[in-house]
Structure 1
Amino acid sequence: MRTHEVIIQAGRPERYYWRDLWLSRELLYILSVRDISVRYKQTALGASWSLIRPLATMLVQTFVFSILIKVPVDPGVPYPLMILSGITIWTLFSNAFTQVSSSITANANLVTKVYFPRLLMPISAIAVSLIDFLITLVLFIGITIWYQFTPDWHIIYVPVFMALALIAALAFGLFFAALNVRFRDVGQLIPFLVQMGFYVCPIAYSSSLVAGQWYEKYYIMNPLVGIIDGFRWSLLGGKTHLNPQSLVYSVAITFVCLILSIIFFRKRENTFVDDI
């Protein structure tokens, strides 16, 4: 039986790049497993933090917005479930976006020592966010049982909005990942953007509060609005507000940004070794 050894070297023609990316899939698996193990290394509570953070956030937001401010909610939906569904999908996006944005600088030792398609690092960084997402989803299921709330057939769309959230994180994260190699200030900007995004997006409130307002047409241009509302809509049996036009904006803007980010990343890729 003959074996074939594939050698991937820097400077290969562009047409080989995507084939090299596929041939490096084993390295993708290794990087993903490493990122997951490093995530909880030397932590006393380990993966329990993925339960503690969203639970604490849900309790605080419920107290502030539901009890103190008394923000209106969609009929038939308990406020803790509404906010936890938003936190669940936001956690997936924000963790993936943060990990992708810092993936190149976090792997500087690999970048300077061996050549492989650098796109592997941002893609592998998504694995950590998936683990946190699944743990938070388990928490959501537990809360639905507590409230005796039963999802219906809309739940079949959950994987669709999961995929959209990850694609959006990759689309925006790739741009910052390439920029972060040259300008380390970007690393300080990422947490600020994530913090601002939490309040700009419909997580602690329903988009129904914006419906009919003059600024709604601008609000739904935020690609995460359609993703968060769609995920919440699918988890909560279609009982929450969802503007179909926001989904159109989400899909269109996400995929356009993904294409542009890949082009930008590929143009900057050859300079990573010099800038690091």
Structure 2
Amino acid sequence: MNSLLAFFRLLYARRQLIIAMAARELRAQYVASSLGLLWTLIHPIVMITVFWFVFSVGFKTQPLHDVPFVVWLTAGLAPWYIFSDIVSGSTNIILAHAHLVKKTIFASQILPVVKILSSLVTHGIFLSVLLVLLLFQQMPFSLYYLQALYYLLCLLMLSLGIAWALAALNVFVRDVAQLVAVTLQIGFWVTPIFWDISMMSSKIQRLLKLNPVYYIVQGYRESFITFQPFWSHPLHTAYFWSITAAALACGAYIFRKLKPQFPDVL
């Protein structure tokens, strides 16, 4: 716990460096592109449009619980998109910044936070698209929209713990990045983003709800669509934070133990 508090104090002390590095990483993604940061808007719009066309037009998916499918889909895609972006991007972030990590004065534990901060820009655009869809579909406005900030915090804490562990392990075992890519592909389809979990048997539902990302995806839909408070399912909330606390503790421990060896391996 003390090491985690020390880390957050470090984040505050290095906040200007983190913001500068996040901005540079975001620009680097589109450095040779004439449209530049506009691609952060184009990507989610194209993704949502393609999935909407395939499932609504191709498979003729009907509205779920009287909610237009494109809205229901976007509310689920938004948290998954940033989660997968953080996890996949953080896995190689130590290798990508090897020139900095080799410097003993550089606090390499901030690198996953840099990735998180840069990913928040795209997430903000994704949420803007969702809000436009809600307005276009004439769905009711609610202060429950603000509850999405709580679920965003849940997502960031879970992602940070995972990112620490994967970033450190990938320095020593380069197959970790490939394993993460495969795992995210499986997780994308196992998590009920395109389909309603209620279509499964109660036994399968219990298994699927063990996935902590389900809690976040469902929470976004409860915030933007069904307007249910997060305290309405206390057991699931307690389970999620138990998993997240374990992920943070394990991720911090793995990173702290392996960090002294980074310069030798890199």
TM-score category, normalised to shorter length: 0.7 to 0.9
Q: Which amino acid aligns with 1:33?
A: A
User: Which residue in 1 is equivalent to 2:83?
Assistant: 93
Q: Which amino acid aligns with 2:81?
A: T
Q: CA deviation at 1:270?
A: 0.6
**In the alignment, which of 35, 41, 47 is matched to residue 45 of structure 1?**
35
Worse-matched range after superposition: 154-163 or 37-46: 37-46
CA contact (8 A) 1:86 1:203 kept: yes
User: Which residue in 1 is equivalent to 2:186?
Assistant: 196
Change (3 A) 1:255 1:70: farther
**In the alignment, which of 5, 24, 32 is matched to residue 34 of structure 1?**
24
Structure 2 unaligned residues grouped into runs of 5+? none
Distance, in Å, in 2 between the alignment partners of 1:213 and 1:243 is 19
Distance, in Å, in 1 between the alignment partners of 2:93 and 2:263 is 14
Q: How does 1:155-170 map to 2 (within 5 A)?
A: 155-170=145-160
CA contact (8 A) 1:154 1:238 kept: yes
Q: Which amino acid aligns with 1:102?
A: N
Q: Which amino acid aligns with 1:166?
A: L
- Whether 1:63 and 2:53 are equivalent positions in the alignment is yes
Worse-matched range after superposition: 161-170 or 142-151: 142-151
User: Which residue in 1 is equivalent to 2:64?
Assistant: 74
- Whether 1:263 and 2:256 are equivalent positions in the alignment is no
Worse-matched range after superposition: 162-171 or 193-202: 193-202
User: Which residue in 2 is equivalent to 1:234?
Assistant: 223
Change (3 A) 1:21 1:143: closer
Q: Deviations over 1:74-102 (max 9, x none)?
A: 31211000001111111121112222222
Worse-matched range after superposition: 195-204 or 21-30: 21-30
**In the alignment, which of 133, 136, 140 is matched to residue 146 of structure 1?**
136
Q: Deviations over 1:188-233 (max 9, x none)?
A: 23322222221111211222323x5222221100000011000111
Q: Deviations over 1:109-132 (max 9, x none)?
A: 101134222211111111111000
Query: Is the helix fraction higher in 1 or 2?
Result: 2
Q: Deviations over 1:137-168 (max 9, x none)?
A: 11112212221112323212110011111111
CA contact (8 A) 2:61 2:69 kept: no
Q: CA deviation at 1:70?
A: 4.9
- Whether 1:218 and 2:241 are equivalent positions in the alignment is no
Q: CA deviation at 1:29?
A: 2.6
User: Which residue in 2 is equivalent to 1:11?
Assistant: none
CA contact (8 A) 1:40 1:47 kept: yes
The alignment's TM-score, normalised by the length of structure 2, stands at 0.87
The alignment's TM-score, normalised by the length of structure 1, stands at 0.84
CA contact (8 A) 2:170 2:177 kept: yes
Worse-matched range after superposition: 224-233 or 96-105: 96-105
Change (3 A) 1:243 1:17: closer
User: Which residue in 1 is equivalent to 2:239?
Assistant: 249
Structure 1 unaligned residues grouped into runs of 5+? 1-13
Q: How large is the RMSD of aligned CA atoms in angstroms? A: 2.6
**In the alignment, which of 153, 159, 165 is matched to residue 175 of structure 1?**
165
Distance, in Å, in 2 between the alignment partners of 1:256 and 1:37 is 33
